Structure 1
Amino acid sequence: MRHIKLTDGFSVSEIGLGCSSMSHGYGPADRDDEESVRVLHHAVELGINFFDTADVYGPFTNELLLGKALAAHRDEVKIATKCGLVPRPGGKFGRDCRPEHLRAACEGSLRRLGVEAIDLYQLHRVDPEVPIEESWGALADLVAEGKVRALGISHATLDEIERVHAIFPIAAVQYELSVWVTKNLGDILPWTQRNGVGFLAFCPIGRGYLSGVLGPGEIAEGDSRRGDPRFGTEAMQRNLTIVDGLNRIAERHGATAAQVAIAWIMTKGDNVVPIPGTRRLRWLRENAAAAELRMTQADLRDIAALPPPIGEMSWDQVRSVPEPAVSGTD
């Protein structure tokens, strides 16, 4: 698997692994730490060297899982984690980006991951109660102290990323991007390409839906997707048109709809890294094999002609929906 340069001095495998579903968000009754460890180990064997987590996944248990499972591979891999969200009653999360909280959060992540420095430390969400310059300045201090190697940010507006980038360089931004979520192609992605910043694309398989293995009415209680309007029974039924289109393209290549969805993202720029998530070996192998799929111009035209999804959230809705409904990876 080839490597992608996100920014100077920071390169990762062309496909990463989102780890949140191992501890958080989707189908909590199906979690299996032993299987997750096998997935993490096999990902390294497949050439994946970039792993994305956050302190609130679990909460906190996902970092512990990665820290133990990847301890023997620390020289081979890069782990990205996030800060700025805090657990609240009822399984929701609030935001706390005060400098003192971010510093304490970093110390906690370092302990759980068992590392001396975090490879990529990302501001998970912007806190409207704290000037973003104060939050970002605190993170920049952590880099200066050697506790963090590079900084990233997730779900910030274009204005916000420009403001923080002027204070300390962003190595990578992270946003949802897939065949059915394209809003960030218009402004955020071009900005990253102009400024030499990486773009991490989470939920590239549409939180599992674009794989075609998840049917209408199959979202279980406790699954965070129940809060996403795209996963209402009627919306899922109508959105099958999109999945059918991906399947037609997949048939041309002897591939799967999920692989087409990932490969499509990889056509969006040399700085774009999809980070599909899974906790099953079967899907890990399938996702990683998408690196071998080469999309044709006809494929891209057919995807561009697909209808917009039913239930797609606006930018303001995405930013305002409380966690965990908009967290996690496929």
Structure 2
Amino acid sequence: MASEIMPRIKLGSQGLEVSKLGYGCMGLTGRYNAPVPEEDGIAIMKYVFDKGITFFDTSDVYGPNHMNEILVGKALKHLPRDKVQLGTKFGILKITETELVANGTPEYVRQCCEASLKRLDVDYIDLYYQHRVDTSVPIEDTIGELKKLVEEGKVKYIGLSEASMDTIRRAHAVHPITAVQLEWSLWSRDSEDWIIPICRELGIGIVPYSPLGRGFFAGKAVVESLSKENDLVAHPRFKGENFEKNKSIYIRITNLAGKYGCTPAQLALAWVLYQGDDVAPIPGTTKIKNLDENLGSLKLRLTVDDIKQITDSVPLDEVAGSRTYTNMYNSTWRFADTPPKR
């Protein structure tokens, strides 16, 4: 049974309740590390659930040949389905070293949903996100098809990921958006001026991915070396001169964590958790000790002054490098507010 200690929050105003801390499943099938054996991945997800985390996040693009959804589906066979909040995503057609191609046509929406249901071997998806917005397709058309899937019972709630203010508002007018997923951490706060406020204006929940700065605040690459297979070796913030500059930020957070008797990772994650009762971060890990460390962040008690001190310790103008890989997620593509012509 899931723990009763884990705090629970509501995302959006449509009735979705999740564990305050979620779990990102992406790493189970590679990306920042080698894929874990299937039986280990299932065991990790069972452990996560037993610790009270019931909010799981995956995508049809994680892992080669959709391996992540397949693994998550197998793990769900060992968990009570009605106690799990399952989020998955669609919309990324392909990724290359220089571009990300999105598809938001109604036909593709339905095709992806049917395929995910089959791979996950479930009757419905709790929270179905558009992973990246296809600016060549009016968002009204994409959400219109998602609305049909809700009416058919195949999807319970609709989400968006890395969407602009205009896209969020227009999508919400077609069907209530329950959650927006975005990168939010101590060193990735560009959403605070625009995206977070529009979500709160419309009553939309917020799901931060990479709340530990892609592992940076857990010591990734600072106290442990990255393997050549790790995608982070190509990330601007982990490369060359940028990385050398960013090390000072990690040292600063490490020193500050000593004040609270916690690890840098716990302090960084607690900072995200304290951003509001509409926020459910989804850190991922393949190591039980790291998971237990993440859970420890829930025990930290921080004041408004504490949060300000932690925030001020990471001035954004001191963070070296873009938060995204090369021009794969260029800002024009991600935040274009001009709606495409029909």
2:164 is the alignment partner of 1:154: no
| The one of 59, 63, 85 aligned to 1:58 | 63
More displaced 10-residue stretch of structure 1: 8-17 or 213-222: 213-222
Contact persistence 1:216–1:233 (CA under 8 A): no
Name the SS of the counterpart of 1:199 in structure 2. Answer: strand
2:43 is the alignment partner of 1:33: no
CA-based RMSD: 2.3
| The one of 282, 290, 296 aligned to 1:283 | 290
Name the SS of the counterpart of 2:83 in structure 1. Answer: coil
Normalised TM-score (structure 2): 0.87
2:182 is the alignment partner of 1:170: no
Contact persistence 1:35–1:280 (CA under 8 A): no
* Residue 68 (structure 1) aligns with: 74
Name the SS of the counterpart of 1:271 in structure 2. Answer: coil
The correspondence of residues 175-254 of structure 1 with structure 2, limited to 5 A, is 175-215=182-222, 218-254=225-261
Q: What are the superposed Cα offsets for residues 71-125 of structure 1, whole Å, 9 maximum, x if unpaired? A: 2321211110000112467897532211111101100110111111100000000
More displaced 10-residue stretch of structure 1: 134-143 or 185-194: 185-194
- Alpha-carbon distance, 1:172 to partner: 0.2
Amino acid at match of 1:50: F
Amino acid at match of 1:319: Y
* Residue 324 (structure 1) aligns with: none
- Alpha-carbon distance, 1:317 to partner: 5.3
Give the 3 Å change call, closer, same or farther, for CA 184–141 of structure 1 in structure 2: same
Normalised TM-score (structure 1): 0.90
2:120 is the alignment partner of 1:120: no
Q: What are the superposed Cα offsets for residues 276-328 of structure 1, whole Å, 9 maximum, x if unpaired? A: 0111111111112211111234432322222321113489957328xxxxxxx
Amino acid at match of 2:41: S
* Residue 16 (structure 2) aligns with: 10
Q: What are the superposed Cα offsets for residues 245-264 of structure 1, whole Å, 9 maximum, x if unpaired? A: 22123212221111111110
Name the SS of the counterpart of 1:274 in structure 2. Answer: coil
Contact persistence 1:79–1:120 (CA under 8 A): yes
Q: Distance in 1 between matches of 2:237 and 2:124?
A: 38
More displaced 10-residue stretch of structure 1: 19-28 or 210-219: 210-219
Q: What are the superposed Cα offsets for residues 158-188 of structure 1, whole Å, 9 maximum, x if unpaired? A: 0110010011000000000000001111111
| The one of 126, 133, 142 aligned to 2:149 | 142
Name the SS of the counterpart of 2:82 in structure 1. Answer: coil
* Residue 328 (structure 1) aligns with: none
More displaced 10-residue stretch of structure 1: 59-68 or 148-157: 59-68
Contact persistence 1:249–1:299 (CA under 8 A): no
* Residue 28 (structure 2) aligns with: 22
Q: Distance in 2 between matches of 1:232 and 1:217?
A: 14
Contact persistence 2:100–2:329 (CA under 8 A): no
Contact persistence 1:204–1:262 (CA under 8 A): yes
Amino acid at match of 1:207: R
* Residue 312 (structure 1) aligns with: 322
Q: Which runs of 5+ in 1 are unaligned?
A: 322-330
Contact persistence 1:155–1:319 (CA under 8 A): no
2:54 is the alignment partner of 1:49: yes
Contact persistence 1:217–1:232 (CA under 8 A): no
Identical-pair percentage: 38
Q: Distance in 2 between matches of 1:253 and 1:76?
A: 34
Contact persistence 2:98–2:328 (CA under 8 A): no
- Alpha-carbon distance, 1:39 to partner: 1.4
Name the SS of the counterpart of 1:12 in structure 2. Answer: strand
Contact persistence 1:38–1:281 (CA under 8 A): no
The correspondence of residues 87-126 of structure 1 with structure 2, limited to 5 A, is 87=94, 94-126=101-133
Q: Distance in 1 between matches of 2:53 and 2:248?
A: 32
Contact persistence 1:245–1:302 (CA under 8 A): no
Q: Which runs of 5+ in 2 are unaligned?
A: 1-5, 332-342
